[in-house]
Structure 1
Amino acid sequence: MHDPRITKLANLLLDHSCELKRGETILIEAIDLPEQNLTCALIEGAAARGATPLVTTKDLTVLRSLYRTATPEAMKLAGKLERNRMEQVQAYIGVRGSGNSSQHADVPSEKMDLYQEHWLRNVNDYRVPKTKWVVLRYPTDSFAQAAGMSTEAFTDFYFDVCTADYAKMAENQKPLIKRMEDADKVRIVGPGETDLTFSIKGIPVRPCAGQRNIPDGEVFTAPVRDSLNGVIHYNTQSRYQGTVFSDIRFEFKDGKIVDATANNTERLNTLLDSDEGARFVGEFAIGCNNYVRHPMLDTLFDEKIGGSLHLTPGQAYEDADNGNRSRIHWDLVLIQREDYGGGEIYFDDQLIRKDGFFVVDDLKGLNEGL
């Protein structure tokens, strides 16, 4: 039976996110999907708009074998071929499912580094600044399990969240953009040891309201690279390169992570030692999608949680660039709502958000539904 929610989502991706035009070419990448209804809807929708759809499908089991047997030569060639294809298109939609979200947990870190450096980074260095792109997950049994929900209930939640009123969200974000553009010093305070200061002066601020990630809902910038001092203790689990991390704590001195601990401290520090930029921060963002309230071990959802923020070791985005370069970009989330322990955000010593709620009048529209 045809699900009209799939058509609605496909239309959102093609028109709002990619703004696909007649004569353009779009690459649709379907990774480990349980079925291809959305892929087909995207193909047919692109063609109906006078665009040319290209499609590639990938399987995480196959990719695991490629990563485990990786050599520099193989990863460089794969990256070269995929980048060449990316250079032929004007738009990109990446849809990822997963029967097993820990499929790559046993890939040796040095092999994943080869993939990250020579394949993924090479492609993304072109895709992110040069194409109209959007990425999203697709509902699966394992995804629902991570969210603590039945598959049916999670699928309903998924479509409700992914097809939110992004035009209204964009309007509500405008005062936050202005405040972040005007701010110099940011202070983050939370339970326990969390007390971190840094500057965002002069770094561009970018809103996210359905253009690049679905679901969406954040406003991001980057800290001045050497300005971070203090401690942040994240309260949200994160899966990165197949490993689940929790209880992550960073201590910063002049921008650099000088002490890092977690449930798996050895693996954490191996990742942070991937290259020089991995111990510096490439993104600071405030989450403001109030339909997403609890973490589910999926970055695209977790980083948008209403009342959250994320502070990201690794690569900075070119459109909010602090100069940091790394093969990693790891969005780590701190939820500051009262049910997660609370916390505050200050801009230039003015309290902006407390316990997840914006407290200044011009930002209170972002509290809707929280």
Structure 2
Amino acid sequence: MDPRIREHAETIVEHSIELEAGDDLVIHLPSEAEDLAVALHEYAGDIGANPVYLNNSTRADRAFLRAREDDFELPEHKLALFEAADAFVIARGGGNVSETVDVDPETTAAHNRATRPVQQARLSKTWCLTQFPTEGRAQLAGMSTEEYENFVYDAVSLDWEAQAEFQQQMVDRLNDAEEVRIESGEETDVTMSIAGNSALNDDGKANLPGGEVFTAPVKESVNGTVHFDLPLYRQGREIEDVRVTFEDGRVTEFSAGRNEDVLEGVFNTDENARYLGELGIGMNRAIDRFTYNMLFDEKMGDTVHMAVGAAYPETVGEGNEVNESAEHVDMIVDMSEDSVIELDGEVVQEDGTFVFEDREARTE
């Protein structure tokens, strides 16, 4: 076994989920990540935790969704497992990133609505979403398998204490602010209130790699237009060149240069899928390239991302409404050029550089 896999498992167990004796752990990984599952079982055994291993197969998911098509039911047995568990480890991987390309977006939306209580049960527990490097993901990223393995393991093995200190500078500024304005290029100019909400420091806990600071906008406060100029992968299809207009928080107009029907399916999942649930600011300088993997791409320095759909309740302050939805879909804006982030009218980032960092030093 590659020793980096055991290091990855150690980071997950000791840093991300802080596994303890007696914890009931659900390990949900694709078959390609069996070595990571083995390493996690070793650590769980040493600690005295109780693992259950589930295989995450996109081929099986596709078969079920295409056979059922609609009228989905809540899987009570799966819900019971998730409610009983103390912690979850979920890894992305898989061989064919386009496996679900021929699943109707409306079918996916219907399934997400039916299984939302399962998602809520998982999010209420300690969890870690990570990545196992596979050939399919390497191909999508335009890298050799070895290059992609190095990229993934470098990103998950940061000094997370130092990264947390760096990101806390932005957390503190967001928590002292009431309004955010984001401008980029000629098409993105959007404002939103974050008054009363909390910014959180993603330092490799729930997401590994971590590397962002995120909060929730006040639901009906978002106004303006956004050009999401970096693409995203959804249901095995690339959605690119997305443009969205917000009025009083709600998406009123949208377009995409490619696979607009998939984007429409997201917005039509439920009413709250047309509202923003998250504003995130990428701060991980170790992630220095776009790889068509949102777990990494949203953490890149020089980016912001906005997620339509569900808000994380812990980011929403008392008295503000938590946006509840069966969706949570992140989209990214490149902030490296002709861009600013303002908090209450004060610039905190310009052309990708934060006011508390040196541009020349960060590019060395």
TM-score with structure 1 setting the length: 0.93
1:270 deviation in Å?
Answer: 3.1
- What amino acid maps onto 2:26 in structure 1? L
Unaligned runs of 5+ in 2: none
Instruction: State the secondary structure of the residue aligned to 2:133.
Output: coil
**Which 10-residue stretch deviates more, 215-224 or 239-248?**
239-248
Residue number in structure 1 paired with 2:217 = 223
Residue number in structure 2 paired with 1:44 = 42
Pairing 1:279–2:274 present: yes
Residue number in structure 2 paired with 1:123 = 118
The one of 180, 197, 204 aligned to 1:203: 197
Q: Separation in 2 of the partners of 1:122 and 1:364?
A: 45
What is the count of residue pairs matched by the alignment? 358
Distance change >3 Å, CA 124–CA 269, structure 1 → 2: same
- What amino acid maps onto 2:120 in structure 1? D
**Share of identical aligned residues, percent?**
34
Instruction: Say whether the 8 Å CA contact 1:291–1:369 is kept in structure 2.
Output: no
Residue number in structure 1 paired with 2:341 = 345
Distance change >3 Å, CA 171–CA 369, structure 1 → 2: farther
The one of 120, 131, 135 aligned to 1:141: 135
Instruction: Say whether the 8 Å CA contact 2:181–2:343 is kept in structure 1.
Output: yes
The one of 89, 96, 120 aligned to 1:100: 96
- What amino acid maps onto 2:182 in structure 1? I
The Cα offsets for residues 63-122 of structure 1, whole Å up to 9 and x where unpaired, read as 11111122666x4242x2111101221111011212111111111122212221112x22
The Cα offsets for residues 17-58 of structure 1, whole Å up to 9 and x where unpaired, read as 010011111111112x32511110001111101111111113
Unaligned runs of 5+ in 1: none
1:364 deviation in Å?
Answer: 5.6
1:368 deviation in Å?
Answer: 4.0
1:223 deviation in Å?
Answer: 0.8
- What amino acid maps onto 1:28 in structure 2? I
Q: Separation in 1 of the partners of 2:185 and 2:44?
A: 48
Q: Separation in 1 of the partners of 2:193 and 2:6?
A: 43
**Which 10-residue stretch deviates more, 317-326 or 92-101?**
317-326
1:369 deviation in Å?
Answer: 5.3
Pairing 1:59–2:53 present: no
Q: Report the aligned-residue RMSD.
A: 1.7
Residue number in structure 1 paired with 2:12 = 13
- What amino acid maps onto 1:26 in structure 2? L
Q: Separation in 2 of the partners of 1:58 and 1:212?
A: 18
Pairing 1:288–2:251 present: no
- What amino acid maps onto 1:19 in structure 2? E
Pairing 1:110–2:106 present: yes
TM-score with structure 2 setting the length: 0.94
**What is the 5 A alignment of 1:200-349?**
200-263=194-257, 264-321=259-316, 322-338=321-337, 342-349=338-345
The Cα offsets for residues 255-290 of structure 1, whole Å up to 9 and x where unpaired, read as 111110112334322321221101110000111011
**Which 10-residue stretch deviates more, 197-206 or 63-72?**
63-72
The Cα offsets for residues 212-233 of structure 1, whole Å up to 9 and x where unpaired, read as 1111101110111111111110
Q: Separation in 2 of the partners of 1:138 and 1:239?
A: 17
Q: Separation in 1 of the partners of 2:136 and 2:56?
A: 18
Instruction: Say whether the 8 Å CA contact 2:234–2:262 is kept in structure 1.
Output: no
The Cα offsets for residues 110-162 of structure 1, whole Å up to 9 and x where unpaired, read as 2212221112x221101112x11101121111211121111111111111111
1:252 deviation in Å?
Answer: 1.0
**What is the 5 A alignment of 1:156-171?**
156-171=150-165
Distance change >3 Å, CA 38–CA 267, structure 1 → 2: closer
Instruction: State the secondary structure of the residue aligned to 2:48.
Output: coil
